[in-house]
Amino acid sequence: MLRWTVFLVAVGILFPAWEAEFELPRPARPATRAASPAVVFVGDAGPALPRARAALERVLATPIGVKARELLDAGVLGGPLVIELNDRGENFTAYRVPGRELGETILFDPGSRPLVHTERGRAEAAPETVLAHEIGHAVFKLTSEEAVIQAIENPIRDELGMPRRSRF
């Protein structure tokens, strides 16, 4: 990303007319990245879709989200990250090999507000934190809940100004 920015700035300085004529592609801002084919939404969740997209954009705009994006763009999952929307309160990443190998599909209900233990007591989890948690499983392939919370969910909670989760 940084290299692209430097390159495009350099091209803009050296060939301003060329840039104007051909409209060089600009690096996508984090807010537009969720449209990338690296992430696919499935499931007919109606109004839940824009809510899910907005939550994903906020997560991917954090430093850990940028790392997740890089892994996805590098194709480490062997395909897109699939976010299967539902309105049944289901939020989890299924295993491909039970207990051992995590799959690439996140079940996500952006309207659910599961109660979790935080440093400020029990609190409803925002969709961003639910998604951050599942990305810890599905993209970073962490199987331990503790690892997901400490390495992925809490740093993203910090970035979004939400209380840290204290335990699973």
Those residues whose C-beta lies under 8 Å from the C-beta of residue 121, and which sit 6 or more positions away, are: none
Q: What is the torsional sign of CA 129, 60, 55, 95? A: negative
Smallest separation (angstroms) from Zn ion to the CB of 49: 23
d(CA 81, CA 137): 11
> Which part of the chain contacts Zn ion (CB under 5 A), choosing from 15-23, 49-57, 120-128, 138-146?
138-146
Nearer of residues 39 and 142 to Zn ion, judged by Cβ: 142
- Residue 102: beta bridge partners? 95
Which residue has the closest beta carbon to Zn ion? 145
DSSP symbols for 92-104: EEEEEETTTEEEE
Nearer of residues 73 and 101 to Zn ion, judged by Cβ: 101
Smallest separation (angstroms) from Zn ion to the CB of 133: 6
Contact criterion met (CB below 8 Å) for 145 and 168: yes
Smallest separation (angstroms) from Zn ion to the CB of 31: 27
> Which part of the chain contacts Zn ion (CB under 5 A), choosing from 14-22, 62-70, 102-110, 137-145?
137-145
Those residues whose C-beta lies under 8 Å from the C-beta of residue 164, and which sit 6 or more positions away, are: 118, 119, 154, 157, 158
Alpha helices per DSSP H over the chain? 2-14, 16-22, 48-60, 63-73, 127-138, 145-147, 154-159
| One character per residue 95-134, x = contact with Zn ion (rule: CB under 5 A) | ----------------------------------------
> Which part of the chain contacts Zn ion (CB under 5 A), choosing from 54-62, 66-74, 97-105, 139-147?
139-147
Smallest separation (angstroms) from Zn ion to the CB of 137: 6
> Which part of the chain contacts Zn ion (CB under 5 A), choosing from 6-14, 41-49, 83-91, 142-150?
142-150
Give me the residues that bind Zn ion (CB under 5 A), please.
Answer: 145
